[in-house]
Amino acid sequence: MKSLRRLMFLAIYSLLSLMILNSAGFGAEAPLRIGLVLSTTGQWSSLGGPAKDGAFLAAEKFNAAGGIKGQKVELVFEDDEGDPAKAASLLRKLTTQDNVCTVFGTSTTAASRAMAEVADNLKITMVAPVPTRAVVEGRRYVFHSAYPIDLAAEFLGQYMTEKLNWKRVAILNDTSEYGTTFAEHVEKWLKGRGIETFSEKFAPNARDLTPTWLKIAERKPDGLLLAAAAMDASAIAMKNRRQLGLKIPVLAGGALSSMRFAQLAGDAAEGTLFQSGFGYDRPREGEKKMLSAMAGKTAGGPPSTLFALGWDSTNLLLQAMQGAGCNRDGILKGLENIKGFQGASGIFNFSPTDHNGHSAKNSTIVKFEKDKFFHIFSY
Amino acid sequence: MIEAKLLQITVAGLTTGAIYALMALGFHLVFVTARTLDFAYGAVVVMGGLVAYSLVVEWSLPLPLVLILVTLFGGAVGLGVSTAIIWPLRDRHPAAQVISLLAAGLVVENVAAVIWGKDSLPFPPFTSDTPIFILGAAVNPQSFWVIGLSLSALIASNLILYKTRLGRVLRATANDPFAARLMGINVKNMYGVAFATSLGLGTLGGTIISPITFAGGYFALPLTVKGFTASILGGIGTPFGAVMGGFLLGFIEAYMAGLITTSYMGAISMAILLVILLLRPEGLFSSKGG
């Protein structure tokens, strides 16, 4: 009996350790290097993979066009597996051992925050492809390139209430930091305008949301905002909705607007509205540029928000390096001076006080229909 | 309307519960014979779904054949694990086997990522995914497959355990390996049988759940935790306890999500696990401990 209990606790201990522990990685060497930390394995690999492809395509195009005064730029890639502690130590390693000039990373908000603290300590510029301002708040050397959650909340809030005329809004979010913050912002925006709203949550590895949908359906919302980054679980959510025969219209947040999500959800994604950075059938300048760079490439598949984030973030860093080379403070100033940058996910304007650079107008609403995304709305 | 909702939630609980029950029985079989905990189990279950995906989608084999092949595949892996890891380590500290199995799970997971990639793959439904309405509740036909096939597998394993000579020998080995050896039972073979059955059930479970959950993806560790929790909840020492634990965990999750809250689901199953281990380590449905 006693030995059984001991074995059980040993078992739990090892399971928990496995959930926490991770192993170290190795880097490469090259001149004028940009460090790249993304989550390409583990739970958030659907976020890191496309961003990595986008970053490498941007570097390839940049080098093909001559690089920085003939000098080539090389990306040094590391996988943090979605682990904040690992992301922070990888940034330290890239800066002190690989001598990278600047860093792009990482896929999750929690891990990006851990990296941001290290970036400021080491005085190295970093662009995080995450949408939470908390990552850059109070940080001198940190920028973020994704459409911020508070702007998204405002943009989607206006769209849901003014264009879709929803009077009672359900919010379904995953329990990642992104999902939770997103839901909070939207809820706050809606409540501030007297719109009735309620929310339900699911774990990023959830595999059945039938009971959750039943709870939601009982309250008869006019529509539902899916605020999540977990692609598998969100696709299952869409399938469960269809299986239950529910007709509640769904508007999905930016992290889900990709062909991969639509393919996972299959028929269940038909007719769903997404927040996006793309115009699709009405592409903007930066988007056209990325699409032409992607032509004939297999990596990245059809354009996704995350691919564009990798592409845009790397191009922003490369532009800052054009004038500054590997001078870290030069790169910082270079980034802060970027104005009217035509990115694939919108137009960026940075300043010493604004380390995000997006404006509400960069967002679009698109619809998935018959295996394609279509432009529905933008300012 | 309330009844339809309860029925709906019950079906959801029964569906996940059936899979947890299969896994809990797998944990039980390995535990009673080899006295170890198979933390590679989730990885093997996921692997089962991926192998089946290739057989169904890429090779276009008929479904009944795929189910048989996948179960045999799990059995073969089980024999391998038993021969290569469990038997050589049988006289070491129990931690040696547990840690080795954990490591084996990571190897399986990474091999699977190399072969099938890291992303989940959409697995076609066995028949259709147009829901069938029963008393106002929409039931995914795949749920019938999951419940039906799991129950058949559970009944079959039970018949083998209690109605055949092999089962008697297996149970004798579980009761007292030393005495079993004295009686001329080949304990090594029994380890093999236990692991083969356990992993065979696992790969079968991984296949029948895939149309609902997708094949592959980041799912091995959460599954291991669920299967283990279920077996502890009901009682890892008896097949009945393990199976009941599986269904109970499925119902707890479904009712909690449908009636109370979906937050902290993972934390709650961990908490249940710890409470049961502290208060009733032999499990809820078991009269004696190990």
Task: Summarize the confidence of residues B201-214 as an average pLDDT.
Answer: 92
pLDDT at A41 over 90: no
CATH number at residue B118: 1.10.3470
- A8 at interface of B, judged by CB pairs closer than 8 A: yes
Average model confidence (pLDDT) across chain A: 89
Tell me the two tokens of residue B183: 């009686």
Considering only CA atoms, which of A141, A125, A80, A76 is closest in space to residue A107? A80
Considering only CA atoms, which of B145, B168, B135 is closest in space to residue B63? B145
Contact B274 A15 (CB under 8 A): no
Q: Which of residues 37-76 of A touch B (CB under 8 A)?
A: 40-43, 45-46, 49
For the beta carbon of residue A228, count every other beta carbon within 10 angstroms.
Answer: 28
Contact B214 A235 (CB under 8 A): yes
Does residue B289 fall inside a structural domain? no
Q: Which of residues 254-293 of A touch B (CB under 8 A)?
A: 260, 263-264, 266
pLDDT at A90 over 50: yes
pLDDT at A30 over 50: no
Question: What SS3 state is found at A151?
Answer: helix
Q: Which one of B12, B219, B259 has the shortest CB-CB distance to A210? A: B12
Nearest C-alpha of chain B: how many angstroms from A262?
11
Does residue B288 fall inside a structural domain? no
A301: pLDDT confidence band, cut at 50, 70 and 90?
Answer: low
Does residue B287 fall inside a structural domain? no
Contact B138 A232 (CB under 8 A): no
Does residue B290 fall inside a structural domain? no
Tell me the two tokens of residue A295: 């032509």
Write out the residue range of the structural domain in which residue B7 sits. 2-279
pLDDT per position as a tens digit, B9-49:
898 899 989 989 999 999 998 988 888 899 999 999 999 99
A273: pLDDT confidence band, cut at 50, 70 and 90?
Answer: very high
A272: pLDDT confidence band, cut at 50, 70 and 90?
Answer: very high
User: Would you call the peptide bond into A109 cis, given omega within 30 degrees of 0 as the criterion?
Assistant: no
Can you give the pTM of this predicted structure?
0.78
Size of interface A-B (CB pairs under 8 A): 135
Does residue B198 fall inside a structural domain? yes
| A234 to chain B: closest CA residue | B213
Does residue B286 fall inside a structural domain? no
Q: Is B151 exposed, middle or buried (0-12, 13-18, 19+ CB in 10 A)?
A: middle
User: CA–CA separation, B92 vs B127, rounded Å?
Assistant: 48
A102: pLDDT confidence band, cut at 50, 70 and 90?
Answer: very high
Task: Summarize the confidence of residues A68-94 as an average pLDDT.
Answer: 92
Chain A residues closer than 8 Å to B2 by CB: none
Q: What is the pLDDT of residue A7?
A: 73
pLDDT at B235 over 60: yes
Nearest C-alpha of chain B: how many angstroms from A142?
30
Q: What is the pLDDT of residue B154?
A: 85
Q: Which of residues 347-366 of A touch B (CB under 8 A)?
A: none
Considering only CA atoms, which of B28, B16, B18 is closest in space to residue B161? B28
Q: Which of A27-36, A88-97, B77-86 has the lowest mean pLDDT?
A: A27-36
Contact B98 A245 (CB under 8 A): no
Does residue B285 fall inside a structural domain? no
Q: Which of residues 145-174 of B touch A (CB under 8 A)?
A: none
pLDDT at A164 over 90: yes
Q: What is the pLDDT of residue B262?
A: 63
pLDDT per position as a tens digit, A122-146:
999 999 999 988 899 999 999 999 9
| A262 to chain B: closest CA residue | B122
For the beta carbon of residue A379, count every other beta carbon within 10 angstroms.
Answer: 9
Higher pLDDT, B51 or A29: B51
pLDDT at A378 over 70: yes
Number of domains in chain B: 1
pLDDT at B289 over 60: no
Does residue B69 fall inside a structural domain? yes
Q: What is the pLDDT of residue B94?
A: 82
Q: What is the pLDDT of residue A236?
A: 94
